[in-house]
Structure 1
Amino acid sequence: MHALDWHLANSTHVEALPARLLRPRARANADARALAQAAWCLRRKSDGRFLATYDGRRLHALCHGLAREPGIGEAIAAIEASCATAGATGSLPLAGLEERLASLGLDAAYGKSTGLVLVPEPSRLEFAGYDRYRRPLWLLEPAARAWRRMQRAALADGVALDAISGYRSHDYQLGIFERKLARGQTVQQILAVNAAPGYSEHHGGLAMDIGTPGEPPAEESFETTPAFAWLRGQAGRFGFRMSYPRDNPHGISYEPWHWCWQPPAPAGASPASV
């Protein structure tokens, strides 16, 4: 099966991943057997906890209290819908996002002051290979295909590009804030380098952080590498643009590693109308 035939089925609280991607990581014998027989593995989005496997008919619990876990039925429905639509994707509702923002002391004024917009999560994302840490990289289908083409083209020019991260859920973004707050940073300090939950381009499955072997991830020094020079000259051919150049209007720190895929402009459209 071609790698891009693997996909993530997304729902509000739980995401479903192809079990074959997780089999090498199984430690317990019972879990390994369950993964070997299942098509899907269900994972809680708030903390990454694996909850159950699903073979298309039955659930096998990987945690205690599965019956009390919210969102399992919605996740199974998401699996069935994602398989039935053959690559089509919709957007998940933004329910609960206001509460997440309020917990950080933020409201709609944040979007107005930064010019950032709310980004819903897709209901389906495609497997685009692995990132630097051997984690599955999830993107929307056109971005996944463009990334793979761009990575091959760079390698043909002697430049190695690797993915640092791609899609992130709202819950994952909130976790970044919670961890940094626990280390003593203020919300305003975090907002200088991370968009508020719901406002990150990573939520939509079109943005990714790009690196190159031997270079630390998400550091400004990336701009001195041949990989960055190649991206500046060639990424536009594949639909990618750098989202946060120096002095960008959103108040986000310069991020030479953060690139976002944009759909091609309709024929005859002017740049101002796209």
Structure 2
Amino acid sequence: MHRRPALLINTAHIELWPGGLLRARGNADARALARAHWVLRRKRDGRYLAVATAHGVLPLVPRLMREPGIEAALDALETQWHCRGRPEADDAELPPSGLAQRLAQLGLDADAYAADTGLALEAEPAQLSLAGRDRYRRPLWLRRAAARGWQRLQRAAALDGVALDAISGYRSHAYQLGIFERKRARGLAVADILTVNAAPGYSEHHSGDALDIGTPGEPPAEESFEQTAAFAWLQDNAGRFGFALSYPRDNPHGIVYEPWHWRWRPGAG
């Protein structure tokens, strides 16, 4: 039986998901996804573009070859077939693509934003590893070393009687822009959104090293997480596994206090 690698292959416009992880959105999708070794998924809106089966690539949209970035995605797919899912170097990253355009949509300038906030530009990994499932049973993607760190952290907490769950992990630049667009559609101003979400390109979630952590019964991404036994355990133990709190109170970046947001630091733990 074909063993599907637990890897997400990243390109500028399209993600390659291993078969068996994505939910079908209709009967046609269900039939195609049932045979898929890989699924080509458009990053900006999550649309399924094609599946790769043992018999070739099956388009799920008209004019597949006109999709932006499709050639790069098919090249990446061919490489995966030949490599049979061997992981790339853990530090391989995508070059920034479309950053200025995304920021311009929000009325932001990259240089000015970086200077004002002190936030670093975060490149997307070229490849991510499956780190389990999040609270909502969605696949949780992290860089390989961060995924291992999270799994060790979660197991250690469980041995101490503390339940930790992931709220979210890796997010693409395109997905981050979508967060802003959805919040603006609800009437929020960009300046207000920026106190909670970093601008596209500057969120630590892009790195594949950061995740939001919660505990069962506690609402996600709320300051009240600070009062839980889970947060107390993280304060005492997360550093042993390479994780640190990114946005404490009065941080210099203009981001609200986020007791739930932790980042794995390479070389730590």
Q: State the TM-score, normalizing by the size of structure 2.
A: 0.92
Write the letter of the residue equivalent to 1:79: L
Find the counterpart in structure 1 of residue 209 from structure 2.
206
Name which of structure 1's ranges 124-133 and 31-40 shifts more when overlaid on structure 2.
Answer: 31-40
Q: 1:264 aligns with which of 232, 247, 267?
A: 267
2 CA distance for matches of 1:188 and 1:98? 18
Find the counterpart in structure 2 of residue 7 from structure 1.
7
Q: 2:41 aligns with which of 40, 43, 54?
A: 43
Go from structure 1 to structure 2 and tell me whether the alpha carbon gap of 1:228 and 1:34 turns closer, same or farther (over 3 Å shift).
Answer: same
Write the letter of the residue equivalent to 1:125: L
Q: CA RMSD in A?
A: 2.0
Find the counterpart in structure 1 of residue 104 from structure 2.
102
> Alignment length, in residue pairs?
263
Is contact 1:241–1:262 with CA below 8 Å preserved after alignment? yes
Is contact 1:82–1:88 with CA below 8 Å preserved after alignment? no
Q: Secondary structure of the residue that 1:117 maps to in structure 2?
A: coil
Q: Secondary structure of the residue that 1:125 maps to in structure 2?
A: strand
Gaps of 5+ in 1: 267-274
Find the counterpart in structure 1 of residue 168 from structure 2.
165
Find the counterpart in structure 2 of residue 269 from structure 1.
none
Alignment of 1:129-208 (within 5 A): 129-208=132-211
Indicate the percent of aligned positions where both proteins have the same amino acid.
64
Is contact 2:4–2:37 with CA below 8 Å preserved after alignment? no
Q: CA deviation at 1:175?
A: 0.4
Is contact 1:4–1:127 with CA below 8 Å preserved after alignment? no
Q: 1:218 aligns with which of 195, 205, 221?
A: 221
Is contact 2:5–2:18 with CA below 8 Å preserved after alignment? no
1 CA distance for matches of 2:29 and 2:103? 36
Is contact 2:241–2:268 with CA below 8 Å preserved after alignment? no
Alignment of 1:24-39 (within 5 A): 25-26=23-24, 28-39=26-37
Q: State the TM-score, normalizing by the size of structure 1.
A: 0.90
2 CA distance for matches of 1:265 and 1:150? 13
